Amino acid sequence: MTRAAAAALAAAVGVLAGCGGGTPPEPVATSRVELAKSYRFSPEGITVAAGTAVTWHNDDNFTHTVQVDGGETRKLAPGDTYSRHFAQRGTFDYVCTLHPGMNGQVTVR
């Protein structure tokens, strides 16, 4: 292989490797969600095994809520935690009812 051909091949491989942008982030395997500063759940998407209790911890300077699938609304003052058991498999969306756009998702496998 000539030097020029090797350089062209390396460039082509670089282009292919760079094609990953634009895909949504994979859910993170953790049972703990921080309500990070400011107005967001971190990480937004998590995955847990069935039977796991997920804990939310409010690390923000403001009161937030956690409402899973339109159910009970739990208020979290700064520093508070809330744990909820996920027995069934599925995908559960949750929101902070006080702040539109502040939401996350739990995938139970």
Q: What is the contact mask toward Cu ion in residues 48 to 87, using x (rule: CB under 5 A)?
A: ----------------x-----------------------
Residue 88: count other Cβ atoms within 10 Å of its Cβ. Answer: 9
Residue 108 within binding range of Cu ion, rule CB under 5 A: no
Q: Which is nearer to Cu ion, 48 or 95 (CB)?
A: 95
The strand pair at 28-29 and 45-48 is best described as parallel
Binding site residues, Cu ion, CB under 5 A: 64, 96, 98-99, 102
